[in-house]
């Protein structure tokens, strides 16, 4: 049985984003085209499908670190703030983006609220993540036979 930790995130996230898009589980809100993903960023994202990739990443983070709240999810997507000649300081990512994605994943039935602890995956979310991870690992095992032992 393969899990999300068995697959590199660079290979997993685009496939998971495509699956979330095809299911209609998440959709970018009208303001997503103009929003920065944190105060440490200078511009809005340039990828057309950045909302789906971020949603896939949030789903993976909830699986790995859950139960986790929106505040800690925002901290996961933070970075260094350029303060001119002053030293750089760490800043959190946008809580609005994280909150909206978590709400959409909850509405889709992939994430549920764990009382007083944050969000965690549901059985359906775990099944989706493991299924996509297995298909990605199968594709990687075809090109790299040494990975076949993880199937």
Residue range 84-106: mean pLDDT, rounded: 94
148 occurs within a structural domain = no
In the predicted model, what is the mean pLDDT of the chain? 92
Q: 43 phi and psi, to 5 degrees?
A: -135, 170
Task: Calculate mean pLDDT across residues 93-101.
Answer: 95
Nearest to 129 by CA among 14, 16, 7: 16
Q: What residue numbers bound the domain in which 27 lies?
A: 4-143
Which residues are bridge partners to 80 per DSSP? 90
**Single pTM value for the model:** 0.91
CATH of the domain at 53: 1.10.10.10
Residue 102, in any domain of the structure: yes
92-117 average pLDDT score: 94
User: What pLDDT score does 82 carry?
Assistant: 87
Residue 119 lies in a domain: yes
DSSP the chain: ---GGGS-HHHHHHHHHHHHHHHT-----GGGGT--SBTT-SS----TTHHHHHHHHHHHHHHHH-SB-HHHHHHHT-EEEP-TTSPPEEE-B-HHHHHHHHHHHHHTTSEEEETTTEEEE-HHHHHHHHHHHHHHHHHHHHH-GGGGGG-
C-alpha distance from residue 30 to each of 13, 27, 49, 51 (Å): 23, 9, 13, 11
Residue 150 has pLDDT above 80, yes or no: no
Domain count, the chain: 1
Q: With respect to residue 84, please indicate whether it lies within any of the assigned structural domains.
A: yes
Structure confidence by residue, pLDDT tens digits, 34-47 = 999 998 898 989 99
Q: Is residue 71 part of a domain?
A: yes
Whether residue 90 is contained in a domain is answered as yes
Residues 108 and 111: their CA atoms lie apart, in Å, by: 8
């Amino acid at each position: 049985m393969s899990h999300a930790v068995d697959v590199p995130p660079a290979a997993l996230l685009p496939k998971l984003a495509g699956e979330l898009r095809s299911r209609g589980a998440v959709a970018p809100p009208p303001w997503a085209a103009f929003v920065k993903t944190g105060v440490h960023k200078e511009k809005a994202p340039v990828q057309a499908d950045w909302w789906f990739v971020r949603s896939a990443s949030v789903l993976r983070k909830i699986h790995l670190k859950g139960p986790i709240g929106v505040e800690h999810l925002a901290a996961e997507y933070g970075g260094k703030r350029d303060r001119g000649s002053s030293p750089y300081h760490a800043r959190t990512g946008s809580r609005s983006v994280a909150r909206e994605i978590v709400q959409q994943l909850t509405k889709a039935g992939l994430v549920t609220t764990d009382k007083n602890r944050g969000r965690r995956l549901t059985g359906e979310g775990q099944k989706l993540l493991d299924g996509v991870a297995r298909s990605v690992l199968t594709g990687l095992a075809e090109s790299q036979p040494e990975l076949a032992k993880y199937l």
